[in-house]
Amino acid sequence: MSDFTSNFWSIYVAAITVVSIVACLVLLWLSGKAKVMASSDNTTGHVWDGDLREMNNPLPRWWAWLFVITVIFALIYLALYPGLGTYGGKFGWSSTGQHQAEVDKGNADVAPLYAKFMVMKPEDVAKDPQAMAIGERLFMNTCAPCHGSDARGNKGIPNLTDNDWLGGGTPDIIKADIIKGRRAQMPPMAAAVGTADDVKNVANYVLSLSGSPHDSLRASLGKPKFVVCAACHGPDGKGNQTIGSANLTDDIWLHGYGEAAIIAMVNNGKINQMPAQGDKFTPEQIHVLASYVWGLSNKGPAAAK
Ligand code: HEC
Ligand code: HEC
């Protein structure tokens, strides 16, 4: 009701409610005044189906009292609960308040659990089955729409299970990614590389870095052109996690595999973005979720190191 900018609608709604209740009582009173027509045969003169005649009896007592009781109930209800315009009722109940109370209770119930995880290292949280069950649920609700329910990603969206990291896969970096999101930018590079042929050559050089099928003559011609790429991808093409440039030597292709895909990257550049997710979680949830994501690519004995 707080959406109203003036009192008018509140009063309007409250007035309709009160008038309706009073009108019910008046109707009851008027109906109760019907007098038995002792002078005649006490029928109204209405006849249906040949011989079904309408009598003029007063309302049954029990019925009238039931009616009165519902009116009394309505008045008590309106005094205690919201119903009269913006009047909130004696109990101060509201659906949002009730929801918030349930949320608070739920949070209070799991607080000791989260407190326990909070003081554990992410590497240890990742070994706790209960924490991982919570982490998986958080992931399914918020991250799976993009990264997939198996966390293996999609074109443009990284696989989180493979230990190939644009930004570095430590729990702290994963936490920062969740809180702040990510933004990676590769500018269109065609002009810096040279002609379309030069771009094709450098693409073949990039393919050669991962041992992918390529034209070796073109690759050797493209190699010197790679200096403009090296600023971000490193002289060896292994990428630079502080700026999130991809490793070009590992045969994992976020934006598509092959000469054509690489040429498109060079010509068009790319802005790849993950929106910040921090405001969807409490710090405790982020701790558990980051541990879960870290655990996806650090399973088994490797996780112990
Ligand atoms: C709207 C889609 C979207 C959602 C939702 C999303 N992500 Fe991402 N995520 C991306 C994209 C796109 C990237 C790649 C960004 C880049 O290129 O640097 C990414 C990157 C990441 C990375 C870095 C991967 C690397 O290789 O360094 C992590 C970790 C990550 N996401 C975790 C999560 C988690 C956990 C959630 C849920 C809280 C989540 N993401 C929700 C789209 C999304
Ligand atoms: C200003 C920094 C910058 C420069 C210069 C740059 N890149 Fe990139 N490149 C990036 C970033 C950042 C990404 C990762 C985009 C993402 O996270 O989705 C990327 C991604 C790529 C990819 C996609 C990798 C994959 O896994 O699909 C290819 C291919 C690529 N770059 C090739 C090149 C080539 C070739 C050059 C030189 C002509 C070059 N880049 C120059 C920053 C750069």
Per-residue pLDDT reduced to its tens digit, 244-271: 999 999 999 999 999 999 999 999 999 9
Q: Which amino acid is at 49?
A: D
Ligand 1 — pocket residues by CB below 6 A? 142-143, 145-147, 156-158, 160, 165-167, 174, 177-178, 182, 184, 244, 272-275, 277, 289, 293
Contact 249, 149 (CB under 8 A): no
224 CB under 6 A from ligand 2? Answer: no
Q: Which pLDDT band, with edges at 50, 70 and 90, does 300 fall under?
A: low
Contacts of 10 (CB under 8 A, 6+ apart): 1, 4, 85, 86, 87
For residue 263 and ligand 2, the question of a CB distance below 6 A is answered with no
Q: Which CATH superfamily is domain 185-274 in?
A: Cytochrome c-like domain (1.10.760.10)
Q: Is the minimum distance from the CB of 246 to ligand 2 under 6 angstroms?
A: yes
In DSSP terms, 182 is beta-bridged to: 274
Q: Are 213 and 227 in contact (CB under 8 A)?
A: no
Ligand 1 pocket test target in 136, 137, 146 with most atoms within 8 Å of CB: 146
pTM of the model as a whole: 0.76
- C-alpha 9/C-alpha 213 separation (Å) is 73
- Residue ranges, CATH 1.10.760.10, the chain: 104-181+275-304, 185-274
Tokens 């090296």 belong to residue? 230
CATH class of the domain at 104-181+275-304? mainly alpha
Strands 43-48 and 52-55, bridge-based pairing? antiparallel
Which of 176, 179, 171 is CA-nearest to residue 127? 171
Question: What does the pLDDT look like over 119-178, one tens digit per residue?
Answer: 999 999 999 999 999 999 999 999 999 999 999 999 999 999 998 999 989 999 999 999
Yes or no: say if 266 and 202 are a contact pair by the CB < 8 Å rule: yes
